[in-house]
Chains A and B, each alone.
Chain A
């Protein structure tokens, strides 16, 4: 194998103002959550955001009091931002590839709640242990 070329490639990612737009949208959704209880999800994967846009948004939202790791097949990292009711969710595959990145505006992200089918299964497992 040849040694890989070492070219001075810098892919600059300019910020496009997208972070500001998302913040504006979040305010609207949070107000809606407070007034009517309606939850909302913004799918960051599908927005044309540069990496610096995303960084900017994450810096501005900051970290709150809750930080959760799901260990399903591949991890999921979920934290509440410094703004209560605004949650940042990252889903990874087993080989640490990011497959979904969302901001959920809710009191508890849906994926954290236990699913009835899982609970049912847990119950039968419990019953089988004695």
Chain B
């Protein structure tokens, strides 16, 4: 298949060898408590359906999705609800979030699950989307957007390609690699079901060239299906970004403020496809995920299939514990992952990795003045000028930063990674994006208030006018005609 180049990007130290050859192992024994935040996804938080003291079974619905963009939460094992309370969430803010605490009873007793969809390719796409929604599946590459909503894009747009993202371009992470090597048929089956739901005739599975075994396994599993192409893409960060992967495969740039779906391409992660397979073929909701536990401070790095809600501390203990206090604890990859405030937070649906990074690995140094080397400009995969955006943000000139395109930044981290002056560019951009979004919201609100006020003034004016006219007419009628 002809590939197209993507602009810029970097080649970070990948450091995948620590876990690449480690087969997925199940976390045993189960943790003493599982912590299940009601919001593990983008969109509205789920609504709790259980009370403290309730007995629940494995796979039972604990939280129901609310509104159009939301996701359900299920019990990863059987046990007793100990608490429904505000607890620290796996988020850099460290702010508490409504969380269901489950004490496993060790029985691992299944609830009654939804029946398998016998022939998904004959089923109504709607039924599949419903099943995916019921199963609480979200984008497992880290974006955590509810998958059922994304599968619905086919009703609005004409889709050509389901692009399955197996690039795994973040350093350290090998969870997708292992899933593709160990469960290729499940991934392929899930992809075929998703393509059916989307109405997309073609499936392209993109995997970076540094995963030859995953490529072989997936090619073998896909060989029976002519609609599926397994493509090896160059090793280039951020190849796994939806827009850039779409460009590499189709040669097309997704226009600003549009979706790849507008080009006929929908991107889903490989682990998501596997979860869809489980949901459709076995009625199993999303209860666990594969997490790469790695980083120089972890004694025995592993790929662990961990129940959702497992405290990070338990996961690290399972991997032999820490050899030193890490400089950073990160959820996800080191480029775009979130820093964790402590190891007490749980694994959630988007946790692709838990990394305990040493000082040497993090390689943080004091910021020096920008020397305008232009490297950040050369490598920005979005064609932006980070040095100018940062200069404007430093002067608190958010409009200037916006004019230089800060809202187009995908926060891939390439510019910060490469900056010889160790300027935390992405930190600036995230701050600016947050502020600008808030300002826009505020402005829209004010505009709305203004519009309402103006409408009211106009209405009053109209009434007054009508009154005046009526009075004038009356006066005219009363005065005798000349």
Partners in one complex: no
A residues engaging B (CB < 8 A)?
A: none
